[in-house]
Amino acid sequence: MRIVIVGAGEVGFHIAKRFAAEGKDVVVVDTHSEALRHVSEQLDVLTVHGSGSSPKILVEAGIAKAQMLLAVTNSDDTNLIACFFGNILAPQARKIVRLKSEEYADYAATLAKDTLRVDLVINPDVEVVESILRLLAAPAAVEINEFADGLIWMTGVRLDQDSPLVGRALSELPELTGDLRVMVAALIRDEKLLIPSGTDRFKNGDHVYFACEKADLGAVLGRFGFRHSPIRNILIVGGGKIGLRLASILEVGGKNVKIVERDPKRCRELATILDRTVVLAGDGTNHELLEEENIQAMDMVIALTGDEETNIISCLLAKRLGARHTLTRINKFAYMPLVKAIGIDQTVSPRLSAINSILRQVRRGKIISAVSIKDEAIEIIEAVALKDSELVGRPLKNLTVRKFALILTVIRDGKVIIPGGDTVIFPMDRILILAASKDVPRVERILAVKVERG
């Protein structure tokens, strides 16, 4: 598969890295020589210097033979024009466009179906807000992804020494969860991935990823020792596009919301748009301001400015002054391990949201969605089992996929099945599979084609 990526920024780089590791034929186009040099030094991909909005450059990148065009630069105009010429030069290719401007949000469907005929329009800001809303529903979680139209939630939590999980073996989990259906998918221990077996024991500090029905999440977290009061009082640092979108949703939901914004002009704009939200002109890193606004009464402080340093300092200061939970926006992937290590509860990333949106479009077989966790080391794939897939018609204990992947759940007729060795997958079942990123191509092949057996 040839994939042409227009944009060598962090989104383009990480998408190229993933696909190059899977053996795909990747070409990266950008106008910035330094960005291209970084790509070529780190990855086994081709690079083309020039603008993706130029048909000549797209031809040089081999667009005519491409199965996919990803336009993910920071310029909406460049991305739109790249897709326009992509339709002329490679009508067979699937096209994904990243658009950040709010002006395009209302026209996404038209762009996709009529004007540009693209397969996916990504607005990372929208997806970040959706991620925040999920985390607000379970503040104990460090990460939540949803599957099966929201029926299944994959949740990550960090265990402390008081958790009743600590010291227990995985095989003892049913004693704790009772009739709740939950599947532990992975552990992150000392920054290393572990797919646990029945004899593995949970330890203090483990990051545990588990799948369960959305309706059961609160009860499962309670059994794991995570209990929290509802989130009612929220302070948002940063009144940009993401902050405004989030505040608009939260105030409609009855939350008590305050926004701190540095720019007085933007404050006036926010005050005219929002109904119940209190808009404050000031700096989220200002100690006196936070104390004046009774920061210790805040259930959640969410830092959403475009500056990572401001977001991190705001959250650390708020936590020190008594805020219950903190969540920060991070753009640079390199900052993510640091943020978790210094005590900020949760993070969201527009760029990671964009990457996860793209992944579901480039998977083979009947794949519905795919997301990465643990700094892209693990991928969770939601797929429909096709009748000619090796997965169908045999007990799971007899499948080769068990050697390199874990089937987490099976959804049949709207009901969730936590599978065992004797579970048999039927055609059209929706399944959730966890695999290391390096093994994803093998999972794709098994999802798509039945393996001949002699």
Give the model's pLDDT for residue 450.
52
Task: Say which residues have a Cβ less than 8 Å from residue 192's Cβ, sequence separation at least 6.
Answer: none
List the chain pLDDT tens, one digit each, 454 residues.
899 999 999 889 988 988 888 788 999 999 999 999 999 999 999 999 999 999 999 999 999 999 999 999 999 999 999 999 999 999 989 899 998 887 776 676 676 666 677 888 888 888 899 889 999 988 888 888 888 888 899 999 999 899 999 999 999 999 999 989 899 988 888 878 788 888 999 999 998 999 999 999 999 999 999 887 889 999 999 999 999 999 999 999 999 999 999 999 999 999 999 999 999 999 999 999 999 999 999 999 999 998 989 999 999 999 999 999 999 998 877 777 777 778 788 888 888 878 877 776 665 556 666 777 765 667 888 888 888 888 899 899 988 888 888 899 999 988 889 898 899 999 999 999 988 878 888 888 888 755 444 3
Region of residue 282 (phi > 0: left; psi between -120 and 50: alpha; otherwise: beta): left
With respect to CATH, is domain 2-122 assigned 3.20.10.10?
no
401-405 own/partner pairs: CB under 8 Å, 24+ apart: 401/433, 401/442, 401/443, 401/446, 404/435, 404/436, 404/439, 404/442, 404/443, 405/433, 405/434, 405/435, 405/439, 405/442, 405/443
Segment (H or E) for 188: strand 182-189
Classify 360-448 by CATH class: alpha beta
Give the model's pLDDT for residue 380.
87
Give the model's pLDDT for residue 367.
67
Per this entry, what is the length of the chain?
454
Classify 140-223 by CATH class: alpha beta
Give the model's pLDDT for residue 454.
39
Task: Say which residues have a Cβ less than 8 Å from residue 253's Cβ, sequence separation at least 6.
Answer: none
With respect to CATH, is domain 233-348 assigned 3.30.70.260?
no
- The Cα–Cα gap between 237 and 2 comes to 42
Please report where in the chains the tokens 């031809």 appear, as a residue. Answer: 59
Give the model's pLDDT for residue 316.
94
233-348 and 360-448 agree in CATH topology:
no
* All structural domains of the chain with their residue ranges: 2-122, 140-223, 233-348, 360-448
Give the model's pLDDT for residue 452.
45
The amino acid at residue 409 is T
- The Cα–Cα gap between 46 and 4 comes to 10
